[in-house]
Structure formats: C-alpha cells, structure tokens
C-alpha cells in the first residue's frame, strides 16, 4: 500500500473524492475487518478531525484526519 509521510502522519491515498469511515479504517490497516469497526465507534474510540465519530458511514474527504488509539492517518489522493 503506497503511503506518504507528512509530519509523522501516514497519508492513505483513496481513488475517489470520498470514502466511508468504515472502509477507510480497513484500507488504512487500522482494523482487521469490518466487523471490528462498529464496536470501536460505539465506544467512542475513533475520532475524525479531533471529534469523536460514531457513524461508520461518515463520508471522509481529502485531508480528513482519522485517529484510533495511538494511530493517526490522513485521507490522501492517489
């Protein structure tokens, strides 16, 4: 998986203009499977741009920053 490092944050390229949060978490190797996403969101363990996000279908766009535990990834362009 190609990735760029910017200020220590890994950038994950996406093909389209947006991606759903659940899909991004899998693409960025932040979760092992889609089944892992729902409980993490319910527990408030995922933030998008510094705010807790509970919606798996939240649309992410270029530049959005997703954090889970001590892992942070930015939505990038491919």
12: how many CB neighbours lie within 10 A of its CB?
22
Please tell me the total count of domains within the chain.
1
User: Which tokens go with 51?
Assistant: 């705010």
Full residue range of the structural domain in which residue 60 is found:
4-75
SS3 of residue 42 by DSSP: helix
Helices (H), 1-78: 21-27, 37-42
Taking phi first (over 0 means left), then psi (-120 to 50 degrees means alpha), and beta for anything else, what does residue 69 get?
left
Q: What is the CATH number of the domain that holds 44?
A: 3.10.290.10
- pTM equals 0.88
**CA nearest 77: which of 9, 1, 12?**
12
Walk along the chain (78 residues) and give the pLDDT tens digit of each residue: 344 444 568 999 999 999 999 999 999 999 999 899 999 999 999 999 999 999 999 999 999 999 999 999 999 987
pLDDT number for residue 78: 78
């Amino acid at each position: 998986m190609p990735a760029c490092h910017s200020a220590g944050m890994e950038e994950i390229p996406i093909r389209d203009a947006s991606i759903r949060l659940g899909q991004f978490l899998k693409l960025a190797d932040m979760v092992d499977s889609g089944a892992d996403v729902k409980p993490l969101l319910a527990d408030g363990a995922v933030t998008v741009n510094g705010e807790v996000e509970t919606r798996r279908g939240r649309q992410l766009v270029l530049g959005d920053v997703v954090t889970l535990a001590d892992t942070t990834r930015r939505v990038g362009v491919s």
